Structure 1
């Protein structure tokens, strides 16, 4: 099961790596819609998704900083950024990780 979760995390990381051209367009879009991003940031980070399996607790949170969004994945008390980009992209990554954890036997809220 640990190997499966390791492969899942590596797969998510490989898929979510942003290219510099994507980053530049994301930054430009963030400056254009900063007010909209601020409003959606409060909604996106209203609460982290928490997944539990026995005593193992993991969390997935979509946060916003300066109009750009980031997915923070916490396991064994260690938080890591696993994706950056637009709000919809980060929410899709969060939902994919949540699904992977549910398939691995976790119960998510």
Structure 2
């Protein structure tokens, strides 16, 4: 099959060949698209790397305010800084209440009712 395709191109008819100016335009277009897609992927990979380097928790989270998204009794979910977090509390907390972050254990925030 490979030999056949090579022979097809080398002994093909003249109308199968493209003019030089068309080939130049096609190459410029292909290189331009390759550069645009390459820049996009470099940008996307840099954003992913930046997100992976950013710590998910720091001591500054303690005493910060979050909103309970559902009932926390003893576990539920909160919205902290635009991120969804699993949360745990010692006392029941209703959805919509504001809570204070008091700590973190693995990927679960320890919270208490604010006030």
Q: TM-score scaled to structure 1, two decimals?
A: 0.23
Structure with bigger strand share is 1
Higher normalized contact order (CA 8 Å, seq sep 6+, divided by chain length): 1
Which entry has the higher C-alpha Rg, 1 or 2? 2
Q: TM-score scaled to structure 2, two decimals?
A: 0.22
Structure with bigger helix share is 1
